[in-house]
Structure 1
Amino acid sequence: MKIIVFVVILLSIGLGVAYGWMSREESKPLNERREEMESEITEDFIYRWLVNDNGTVATYIKNNGEEDEDLVKGREALAETLGLLMYYALDKNDQNLFDGVYNQLTGYFLEADGFINWKLKEDGTSDVSANALIDDIRILYALALADEKWDANQYMQTAVLISDYLNNHNVTDDIYTNFYDKKYVKASSDISLSYIDIQGMDALVDRGLLDDGIVAETSQVLTKAPLDNGFYPFSYNVEEDEYTFSDNVNLVDQAILAYHYAQVGNRSEEFLKFIKDEMTKRDLVHGMYDRKTKEPTVDYESPAIYGFLILYALEVDEEVLAQTLYDRMKEFQITDKNSDYYGGYSITDGNTHIFDNLVPLLAEQEMKGH
């Protein structure tokens, strides 16, 4: 099945920090890889505009004070980006790219005890004290798959380190939760349903990296979740045993959740019908909707939302829908070869978000096989 779906250990203590990206002789930093690009215009755009001098991948083009809803600004780098880039490298069968991202992980994001900083400043240092479960699960799963694909022992060594930290810290009442905060020595009491990747977690159990009982309890948070007007809850509070719905539904969360659920056989039929109806009625999908009326509450669209919806549609064998979503997503891409931003998505005033380029990149790669 296709892979899709934001340290210092022995090697990186000595050589990893010193050599940065270069865990393998032929591995190159992202900002050097573009010289070898042929036709991957989205990937090339990312290399040209969204890579910092130290090789970390920036969230925005512009280095300003603009913050998104997750309080990320300017040239800060995200662990979320690492996991998604690893998935892309695996799907593309590009070990050199994977090693570049792996060395970004071990050289900057990962600490000696297995803790992954969820974001970094442009210079590669961190001022946060929390990790993010969904990022760590993506990275773990990618490392396990890479170990099987390329038989490189360092990937599994790093995976063991990360998994030990998650199993001992990111747990509340036998359920994996959103984050662990080292400053307050406490795990979150909430789990966002879009964080629950049942397929990925089950695969990590099979490889001895996650706790079987905790994964089973965490998975049930999703499988037992009630629907409201066809939408899934946003989160579940472990301590209160209570689901929370958002009155203003964020489609990217719903799309990620539906994609994860589809990977284990649940088509989310009501949500699927909603997306089909929107594309029939409006020829587009908005970023947010009122949960009760199912009317859009914002005007904007997002290439990232289209990207995840494409992955979801392909997973449930809705290839016509996937193509329709893909065609709409591509309307947000700069295709003028004379533009400085050729290949990029959603450029506004010379700026864009990495998520609106990286998720479409994943969707483009998946569509090649269909």
Structure 2
Amino acid sequence: MPFTLLILALSACDNSGSVSAPEKKVVPQDFAESYFNEEKYIHAYPNAKDSQYLSESIGLYMEYLVLMEDEEKFAEQYDNLLNEFITEEGEENLFVNWLIFEDATVNALIDDIRIAAALREADKLFDQPEYSKTADKIIGTISRIQTNNNYTVDYYDWEIESPAQRVTLSYLISDVPENLNADRLLENVDADAVFFPEYFDVLEEVYVKNEVVHMIDQLLIAINKERIGLSSGLFEEWLITEWEEEGRLFGRYDRETHEPRVMYESLAMYFYMNEYFLVIGEDEKAEEVKERATAIIETNGTAETHFFDFIHYHLMMEDDTK
């Protein structure tokens, strides 16, 4: 074979075996711009600077920025976290205020856990040890202070030095630290009913059920149970039947009749429904849920969408595992 043809042949072989690099995710320049004020703090509703500024919002946005590997925007939100959300009490205690620009003095367990997890992932991704140190302080404070009757509880009010009296079961997400002993509360949940109790009263040591159930909470509890190897047969059967018959899920249901109590759907609810279907191996239904959420966006837009729903939709659509 002539030398030139040999080079061409080898080149062709090399190209056929090459694997293109994965496409880098990019946060659009105008992404969520209607939710930010001038300092990039997130308000709950688009173009409504007088709506609430929540730790829930910054935690979910940090999670999204880690997913998108956006170092610059994450650093910006980290500064916002330190400047307005973080309250230091003494030398060791670091609290995250659930609501800023108002006179609030409590945190929220699920938001703190989510923020700490995002900080640790960001440290791994961007090599910023300070992020993990802040996460350790947040979780360390919860472990030391935010307890009642030997249970880690929903919140702590540092002004009056008072912990909550309950543990909301939907808060016990996958990022919950092992030393908080969350699994024992999930293990003892009654499996003989379609819907789960909402929370555990730590003083009375009883599970408490509401007459009307919120589907985001129910889905999160089912996911939390799957995380520790516990299935939810009755809930799973009801959910699949409801989806197959209705092609949608509503935000709230009657605990006894299992009938909807509202007629609205929720993008955040569909995020958790998608996740639950994936966890139990119902991949086709998980994809159908994404399609339903997208149809809602295309029909209604996001002009009146709470940031909680907005960011959950984008987390679902950008995450390659969903």
Normalised to the residue count of structure 2, the TM-score between the two structures is 0.84
Report whether the alignment pairs 1:93 with 2:69: yes
Task: Please point out which of 71, 79, 98 is paired with 1:118.
Answer: 98
Distance 1:346 1:233 in 2: 34
Question: Could you list the per-position Cα deviations for residues 210-236 of structure 1 after superposition, in whole angstroms to 9, with x for gaps in the alignment?
Answer: xx3xx22x3211121114531111000
Task: Please point out which of 247, 264, 273 is paired with 1:300.
Answer: 264
Structural RMSD (CA)? 2.3
Equivalent residue number for residue 266 of structure 1: 230
Q: CA deviation at 1:258?
A: 2.0
Distance 1:302 1:250 in 2: 11
* Paired residues of 2:166 and 2:202 also in contact (CA < 8 A): yes
Distance 2:215 2:229 in 1: 21
Distance 1:369 1:112 in 2: 37
Q: CA deviation at 1:183?
A: 2.9
Change (3 A) 1:268 1:87: farther
Equivalent residue number for residue 37 of structure 2: 52
- SS in structure 1 of the partner of residue 241 of structure 2: helix
* Paired residues of 2:267 and 2:309 also in contact (CA < 8 A): yes
Task: Please point out which of 312, 332, 339 is paired with 2:296.
Answer: 332
Report whether the alignment pairs 1:176 with 2:140: no
Q: CA deviation at 1:39?
A: 7.8
* Paired residues of 2:186 and 2:224 also in contact (CA < 8 A): no
Report whether the alignment pairs 1:314 with 2:246: no
User: Gaps (5+ residues) in structure 1?
Assistant: 1-36, 65-73, 206-211, 336-344
Equivalent residue number for residue 308 of structure 2: 355
* Identity rate, percent: 27
Equivalent residue number for residue 252 of structure 1: 216
Change (3 A) 1:88 1:260: farther
Distance 2:227 2:288 in 1: 21
Number of residues of Structure 1 aligned to a counterpart in Structure 2: 295
Distance 1:333 1:303 in 2: 9
- SS in structure 2 of the partner of residue 364 of structure 1: helix
- SS in structure 2 of the partner of residue 233 of structure 1: coil
Q: Structure 2 counterpart of 1:53, which letter? A: E
Normalised to the residue count of structure 1, the TM-score between the two structures is 0.74
Question: Could you list the per-position Cα deviations for residues 187-213 of structure 1 after superposition, in whole angstroms to 9, with x for gaps in the alignment?
Answer: 00101000112x322xx44xxxxxx3x
Question: Could you list the per-position Cα deviations for residues 129-158 of structure 1 after superposition, in whole angstroms to 9, with x for gaps in the alignment?
Answer: 111111111111222222233331111221
Task: Please point out which of 188, 192, 196 is paired with 1:232.
Answer: 196
Distance 2:245 2:121 in 1: 40
Task: Please point out which of 129, 137, 142 is paired with 1:153.
Answer: 129
- SS in structure 2 of the partner of residue 261 of structure 1: helix
- SS in structure 1 of the partner of residue 296 of structure 2: coil
Q: Structure 2 counterpart of 1:332, which letter? A: I
* Paired residues of 2:187 and 2:230 also in contact (CA < 8 A): no
Distance 2:113 2:238 in 1: 29
Structure of larger gyration radius? 2
1:207-246 correspondence runs (5 A) = 212=179, 215-216=180-181, 218-227=182-191, 229-246=193-210
Q: Structure 1 counterpart of 2:313, which letter? A: P
1:75-86 correspondence runs (5 A) = 75-86=51-62
Q: CA deviation at 1:275?
A: 1.9
* Paired residues of 2:26 and 2:70 also in contact (CA < 8 A): no
* Paired residues of 1:303 and 1:346 also in contact (CA < 8 A): no
Q: Structure 1 counterpart of 2:247, which letter? A: D
Task: Please point out which of 69, 82, 88 is paired with 1:106.
Answer: 82
